[in-house]
Chains A and B, each alone.
Chain A
Amino acid sequence: MPSVLPILFVLVIAVGLMACAALFTPKGPQQVLIRTSLMLALAACYLMWMVTYLAQLHPLIGTPPSTA
């Protein structure tokens, strides 16, 4: 049964990974860069996955016909 739960589940995972990136990036001249990049990348990827999943959750167009 399609539900919204996976979205929240993966959100928790993504936020957790972002927190890890925030806390555990090694100190160094590039720390800010690496940290920002990792967090942004995680956030962007989650966003795109979430939108894709959500769009297919309850599809409005009935069913895809195929001519194959």
Chain B
Amino acid sequence: MSDDYPSLLRSEQMSLVQLFVPTEVAHDAVAELGELGNVQFKDLNPNVNPFQRSFVGEIRRVDEMGRRVRFFSTQIEQEKDVVPIRPLYDSAPLIVVGPRAPQAMDELDVTLAAHEQRLTQMNESYQKLSERTKELIEARHVLRETAVFFDKAHHQTDIRTSFDDSSAPLLQHDDRENQYSVGTGVQFDLEFVAGTIERVRVPTFERVLWRVLRGNLYMNHTDILEPFVDPVTGAETRKNVFIIFAHGDALLAKIRKVAESMGATLYPIDANADKRSESLREVEGRLEDLQNVLYNTGSSRRTELTKIGESLRSWQDVVRKEKLIYETLNLFNFDVRRKTLIAEGWVPTRDITTIQLALRHATSRAPACLPFYMSFTIMDSYGVASYQEVNPGLFAVITFPFLFAVMFGDIGHGFIIFVAALYMILAERKLARVDLGEIMGQFFYGRYIILLMGLFSMYTGLMYNDIFSKSLHIWHSAWDFPSNTTDTKIVGIDNGHRYSFGLDPGWHGADNNLVFVNSYKMKMSVVLGVIHMTFALCLQFPNHLKFKRPIDIYANFIPQMIFLQSIFGYLVICILYKWSVDWSKATTQPPSLLNMLISMFLSPGKVDPSEQLYAGQPFVQVVLLLLAAICVPWLLVTKPYLAWKDMHKIKEQGYVSISGEGDGNGIHRNSSDEVLEGEEEGNGRAIAEDGDDGEHEQHDFGEVVIHQVIHTIEFCLGCISHTASYLRLWALSLAHAQLSEVLWSMTLEAWLEPTGVFEWIVLIVMGVFWFVLTVFILCLMEGLSAFLHALRLHWVEANSKHFEGGGYAFTPLTFANPDSKE
């Protein structure tokens, strides 16, 4: 019927194909297959070290190119102003297949190397220049600050008149004033050391100098206001300018040593003011030049990067594809005799013709007309356990939202969820590009399921007749309430109608509302649960048919079905029957179904006539009980017994096949290469092998027995516990309804008839409060809770009835890049 398309029911049929590829066109063929993206290649050289494979050299070269491309992209990212990168769909394509391919790759290699060299050169010179600039700036600061010191000092000349002349060099007076100035600490006789040091080190510096020079120094320091920024790391350091006045060469030498050990930078400053201003001018001039050069270097670097940015994406793409191609080529087997490469891979059977076309296209670009052919080996079920198993996900698309809705059941809340999902779907394209974060991303990912959940919730809300904890009165109710004001308790009267869709609104607000509704919901949960489990069990059947396991049908499926139906199917039928009987006109009392089921087990064959559900009940119940009782040993024993019989048959015939005639029914014999070689070499070996085989069989048989015991116990006990587990459908819907009612009665109910302005305000506030709590608690929290429980019901109760789930996903070679942002 629908064989043309893959369906959700089963995984696709796969074929194992072998390709014989001439070496010249191998690269292009793999490129073409990669573009298609539906072949998964097998590794035909599993024992070969990655460093010994044939295409290691090419991979190394491509890796080098990849490193360069990564270097470029990090450099571009580091630029403060954004460098435009031309997106992939806009870039000129690089042709890497066809006759000119090797040339193109070589050119690319050379281009990348040249760009890298230029960039690194520019980076180095930029760094050197920045360092130089930093030094010059420090020198300028030192010059400025020392000028301040000297100015201050000049204004304090009241003692030495000879220093009115500011240009007189200090050193001239050194010897003469020595006898006067020792110990007085006046600055002008003394020589000085000036420089910069990090601010944090200043106190230490002062202390060390004080100790070393025994106080024979005068130190002054100021902060440099702007911090220095390291161009490479971007770290900021704050420095101070210091100037130290001391007397004597020895002291000065000591100061210099201490300064250098503390990491200070010393600058030669002249005492003469004119000379100082000259140096300042020089420094400023050099600084300006350096800034110019820096600026030029920066801008030429930018142009270089822009040029790189034009082709960066296409280079990245080419490098990535080439790497994938060569890695894939490494998986192939090189056939020396025919000078071809042999590849094996998995392909969806449907796509085989597309692949043939693609390969033909690839090879048509080859200059020489080399022969090219493909051989098929189609093997289904290659050993992957759930290849082509029935996929329960297909049915869960509907059953999951439905079971969720049974637990959620409110028209209003369902509507809110529906609208939220609708918004996400309509705004799909916009939201898909934004990074929504983990939680919102999950909600967005499941928007279609959430839509279905909302829809079904509105339906079950209609069934439960619950809209924001109120009920609708659409059709004719079954109950009339007389407007009788004498009694405090009003009793409704049955008027013969039955409410067409859902729960009668007469129950809303009634005292015994919960008694009725609980009974209804519990029974409904059991009914739905048994039907869901039966459905899941039936999914075993197509699996057994597909995999040609008729034994499983008779040994597993049928006894399980009979066991489930004879107890719980019977219960469901009783529930439905009991509902359909008009007990006010029946001759017997309506029996309690729970007691009925229990006494069916505890006292089979005895049913109190005044409490029987239908005539002939004892007999029917005994029959059903016996059926169930037979099913247990049936399930337990059949498969192991058949396996044991098989084993004996093989054992007897095992001796026959050793003489080399070949097996007809060697189902359990391993036909691996070593065993067959062993047979050829000698009989002596074969007997030992058979002994091994026999033990192997014992081992297998033991496993089968254990597996079957576990399976039987799991199933039989599981039937009971899973049926009870479905009662959570009742429990959660009850909790939801009660929460909804409580929320209403505690917020809005008291304020619904506002009289004054104050009451209006309170009404509005309460209304907002009610809405917020509805969305967050009732929709989100209860929604997540119901989601979880519905999922659990599917995974445990339903899937344990049929699902094997041992396959692995198909990962084809594909060039489509899921991380690409374009």
Complex contacts, B584 vs chain A, CB 8 Å: 58
Known contacts A44-B398, A65-B489; is-contact A2 B498 (Cβ 8 Å): yes
Q: How far is the CB of A55 from chain B (nearest CB, A)?
A: 4
* In-complex Cβ contact of B479 among A2, A37, A52, A63 (8 A): A63
A31 to B496 CA separation, bound complex (whole angstroms): 45
* In-complex Cβ contact of B579 among A40, A47, A57, A63 (8 A): A57
Q: With an 8 A cutoff between CB atoms, is B504 at the interface?
A: yes
Q: In the bound complex, do residue A60 and residue B583 qualify as a contact, i.e. CB atoms below 8 Å apart?
A: yes
Complex contacts, A64 vs chain B, CB 8 Å: 479, 491-492, 506-507, 510-513, 516
Q: How far is the CB of B524 from chain A (nearest CB, A)?
A: 5
Q: In the bound complex, do residue A44 and residue B579 qualify as a contact, i.e. CB atoms below 8 Å apart?
A: no
A57 to B478 CA separation, bound complex (whole angstroms): 10
Segment of B5-13, B97-105, B269-277, B547-555 engaged in the interface with chain A: B5-13
Q: In the bound complex, do residue A54 and residue B580 qualify as a contact, i.e. CB atoms below 8 Å apart?
A: yes
* In-complex Cβ contact of A52 among B9, B491, B503, B576 (8 A): B503
Q: In the bound complex, do residue A56 and residue B397 qualify as a contact, i.e. CB atoms below 8 Å apart?
A: no
Complex contacts, B478 vs chain A, CB 8 Å: 56
* In-complex Cβ contact of B580 among A41, A57, A67 (8 A): A57
Q: In the bound complex, do residue B511 and residue A63 qualify as a contact, i.e. CB atoms below 8 Å apart?
A: no
Q: With an 8 A cutoff between CB atoms, is B95 at the interface?
A: no
Chain B residue total in the interface (Cβ 8 A)? 60
A52 to B5 CA separation, bound complex (whole angstroms): 39
* In-complex Cβ contact of A4 among B488, B523, B580 (8 A): B580
Q: How far is the CB of A46 from chain B (nearest CB, A)?
A: 11
A41 to B489 CA separation, bound complex (whole angstroms): 42
Task: Please provide the chain A residues from 21 to 68 with a CB less than 8 Å away from any CB of chain B in the complex.
Answer: 27-29, 31-33, 36-37, 40-41, 44-45, 47-49, 51-68
A28 to B515 CA separation, bound complex (whole angstroms): 49
Q: With an 8 A cutoff between CB atoms, is B346 at the interface?
A: no
Complex contacts, B489 vs chain A, CB 8 Å: 65, 67
Complex contacts, B519 vs chain A, CB 8 Å: 55, 60
Q: With an 8 A cutoff between CB atoms, is B493 at the interface?
A: yes
Q: With an 8 A cutoff between CB atoms, is B236 at the interface?
A: no
Central interface residue in B7, B460, B584, by most chain A CB within 10 Å: B7
A66 to B584 CA separation, bound complex (whole angstroms): 22
A55 to B389 CA separation, bound complex (whole angstroms): 39
Complex contacts, B397 vs chain A, CB 8 Å: 33, 36-37
Q: In the bound complex, do residue A55 and residue B524 qualify as a contact, i.e. CB atoms below 8 Å apart?
A: yes
A55 to B150 CA separation, bound complex (whole angstroms): 106
Q: With an 8 A cutoff between CB atoms, is B724 at the interface?
A: no
A64 to B459 CA separation, bound complex (whole angstroms): 25
Known contacts A29-B5, A40-B399; is-contact A60 B394 (Cβ 8 Å): no
Complex contacts, B662 vs chain A, CB 8 Å: none
Q: How far is the CB of A44 from chain B (nearest CB, A)?
A: 5
A32 to B393 CA separation, bound complex (whole angstroms): 12
Q: How far is the CB of B706 from chain A (nearest CB, A)?
A: 37
Which chain B residue lies CB-closest to A35? Answer: B2
* In-complex Cβ contact of A66 among B460, B502, B510 (8 A): B510
A68 to B505 CA separation, bound complex (whole angstroms): 14
Q: In the bound complex, do residue A61 and residue B463 qualify as a contact, i.e. CB atoms below 8 Å apart?
A: no
Q: How far is the CB of A58 from chain B (nearest CB, A)?
A: 5
Q: In the bound complex, do residue B2 and residue A65 qualify as a contact, i.e. CB atoms below 8 Å apart?
A: no
Q: With an 8 A cutoff between CB atoms, is B739 at the interface?
A: no
Which chain A residue lies CB-closest to B577? Answer: A54
Q: How far is the CB of B469 from chain A (nearest CB, A)?
A: 15
* In-complex Cβ contact of B398 among A41, A47, A53, A57 (8 A): A41
Complex contacts, B479 vs chain A, CB 8 Å: 63-64
A16 to B519 CA separation, bound complex (whole angstroms): 31
Known contacts A40-B399, A56-B498; is-contact A51 B524 (Cβ 8 Å): yes
Q: How far is the CB of A57 from chain B (nearest CB, A)?
A: 6
Q: In the bound complex, do residue A49 and residue B582 qualify as a contact, i.e. CB atoms below 8 Å apart?
A: no
A1 to B491 CA separation, bound complex (whole angstroms): 20
Q: How far is the CB of B11 from chain A (nearest CB, A)?
A: 13
Q: In the bound complex, do residue A52 and residue B406 qualify as a contact, i.e. CB atoms below 8 Å apart?
A: no
Complex contacts, A29 vs chain B, CB 8 Å: 5-6
A40 to B8 CA separation, bound complex (whole angstroms): 15
Q: In the bound complex, do residue A66 and residue B490 qualify as a contact, i.e. CB atoms below 8 Å apart?
A: yes
Q: In the bound complex, do residue B528 and residue A32 qualify as a contact, i.e. CB atoms below 8 Å apart?
A: no
Q: How far is the CB of B170 from chain A (nearest CB, A)?
A: 96
A53 to B527 CA separation, bound complex (whole angstroms): 14
Q: How far is the CB of A59 from chain B (nearest CB, A)?
A: 7
Complex contacts, A36 vs chain B, CB 8 Å: 8-9, 394-395, 397-398
Apart from A33-B8, A61-B512: 16 A-B pairs, beta carbons within 8 A: A44-B398, A51-B523, A52-B463, A52-B503, A55-B523, A55-B524, A56-B498, A57-B498, A58-B580, A60-B590, A63-B479, A63-B494, A64-B512, A64-B513, A65-B492, A67-B489
Q: Could you tell me which A residues sit within 8 Å of B by CB distance?
A: 1-2, 4, 6, 27-29, 31-33, 36-37, 40-41, 44-45, 47-49, 51-68
7 A-B residue pairs with CB within 8 Å: A2-B496, A36-B397, A40-B395, A48-B463, A55-B519, A56-B478, A63-B494
Q: Could you tell me which B residues sit within 8 Å of A by CB distance?
A: 2, 4-9, 394-395, 397-399, 402, 406, 459-460, 463, 478-479, 481, 488-494, 496-504, 506-507, 509-513, 515-516, 519-520, 523-524, 527-528, 531, 576, 579-584, 590
Closest 9 CB pairs of A and B: A64-B510, A32-B7, A40-B398, A63-B492, A54-B579, A55-B520, A58-B582, A29-B5, A44-B402
